[in-house]
Amino acid sequence: MSDWEPEKYLKFKQERTRPVHDLISRVELQEPERILDIGCGPGNSTAPLRERWPFSDIVGIDNSPAMVDRAQ
């Protein structure tokens, strides 16, 4: 199986990140202790989570080593 290419994925960053912004606007938790970003990709969804909840323990996982490397 070939790996994802983060730079190609991020060409559509705005479209791919829109759902996380929609979700964040609906979550009523003020300070969640932990957040799990499943399928974090290159971190484009993880960054808005960090902005909204700066003191939460946020873990991003993805099955693509290239995406995880880019997210870090």
pLDDT at 2 over 80: no
Structure-derived torsion over alpha carbons of residues 67, 40, 50, 29, reported in degrees to the nearest 10: 180
> How far apart are the C-alpha atoms of 25 and 3, rounded to whole Å?
32
Question: Domain spans of the chain?
Answer: 33-72
pLDDT tens figures, 49-65: 999 999 999 999 999 99
Report pTM.
Answer: 0.85
pLDDT tens figures, 14-38: 999 999 999 999 999 999 999 999 9
